[in-house]
Chain A
Amino acid sequence: MFSQRELERYKRQMMLFGEEGQERLKKAHIFIAGAGGLGSPVSIYLAVAGIGTITIVDMDVVDQTNLNRQILHFNRDIGRKKTASAEEKLRELNPDIIINAIDVKIDDTNAAKLIGRAEGIVDAMDNYPTRYLLNDVAIAKKIPLFHGGIRGFYGQATTIIPGTTPCLKCIFPKPPPKEVFPVMGVTPGIIGTIQANEVIKYLLGSGDLLMGRLFIWDGLQAHGEEICVERNPACEACSDMATMKTTPRNVK
């Protein structure tokens, strides 16, 4: 049941998917790995859409150099934990949802536990080793991984449904070298909102997800395109998973 405030808050989107759809969002629990460039727009849009429970994890402190893109964090937050800053902003954006902000480094000892019973993982990380961990947990729990990555004016996104689509290791078997990547805030803004849109579509069972499709954005050309990607039968992460004949609930 929704309060009067919630009914007002979500009025314009319930024109799209009704109270039933809104109820689906309210019951959902989504895990966001990272409160940085991608994590900012992802968490903001999922919070205002009314995703009932959001767990957001980050280990960093807000730094001046983050502020050109990490729009959850303000000048006054420099030196604060990103999780504290994120929790405060998200609660202000929507007091009717639950925010779990956890200040920890995601590693192979805690990833599965942190993700817990979340029904989807948003990849808002800045490195492949952690992304591969999230990919492993998504496969083990059979929950989707909403991947995004950015560099400069370029970005990519895809939605991974274990057993149905290629996993992250099928698409990117080897990580690129580590670097301090150049970035301009609009790029994670674009890719993060695509990820958030995928999460909402997945929960509602609406539209077509970026399944088996790697969306590639070129901000300099203002051009987006997609590349079809396939499962790797020899994938070290997901090849043991039988191809699902029936797609999971809410996936068309």
Chain B
Amino acid sequence: MQRHGNNENNTEECEVTVKIRFFARFRELLGTDIVTDVAPGTIFTSLIASVAKKNPEGYAAIFDETGAFHEFVILMRNGKRIDIADADKTVIADGDEIAVFPPVAGG
């Protein structure tokens, strides 16, 4: 379990706590089960970007040069699929569990 702190200007009670789970290649590059506190109103995309930026290779595996998710990336929140097109509009809620994974292609 890793704890990833940001938004240090917020007081404890204002923050929401979320858990991010990376899989496969993303896990190799970024770890997994990352628990982080974020400000209320944080958007899905910016949350994942802030965590992924700790490893430029990990960031590049998930995001393209414009900062958008690569189109093959699978996003889930609490077991429900989030469409990449909706990730910029999706607000994180307290207790969310987020999964981010690539299709695995080899055979």
Listed in ascending order, the chain A residues whose CB lies under 8 Å from chain B are: 34, 36-39, 123-128, 148-152, 154-156, 171-179, 181, 183, 188, 216, 218, 227-230, 232
Contact = CB atoms under 8 A, between A and B. Distances in A.
Interface stretch (B1-9, B20-28, B34-42, B43-51): B20-28
B107 interface: yes
Interface residues of B, number: 20
Contacts of B71: 173-174
Which of B71, B72, B74, B103 is packed against the most chain A CB atoms within 10 Å? B103
A175 B79 contact: no
B105 interface: yes
A124 B106 CA distance: 9
Contact of B105 (A34, A128, A227): A128
Contact of A176 (B72, B76, B79, B99): B72
B54 interface: no
B104 A218 contact: no
Interface of B: 23-25, 27-28, 71-72, 74, 76, 79-81, 99, 101-107
Which of B24, B25, B80 is packed against the most chain A CB atoms within 10 Å? B24
Contact of B104 (A34, A155, A228, A229): A155
Contacts of A178: 105
Nearest to B101: A216
Contacts of A127: 105, 107
Contacts of A125: 107
A40 B101 CA distance: 26
Contact of A149 (B28, B80, B105): B105
A149 B79 contact: no
Contact of B76 (A177, A188, A227): A227
A230 B81 CA distance: 8
B62 to A, nearest CB: 11
A149 B25 contact: no
A209 B35 CA distance: 32
B46 to A, nearest CB: 22
Given A227-B76, A227-B79, A39 B107 contact: yes
Nearest to A42: B107
A106 B106 CA distance: 16
Contacts of B28: 152
Q: Across chains A and B, which 4 residue pairs bring their CB atoms closest together, nearest first?
A: A126-B107, A181-B106, A149-B104, A154-B24
Nearest to A187: B106
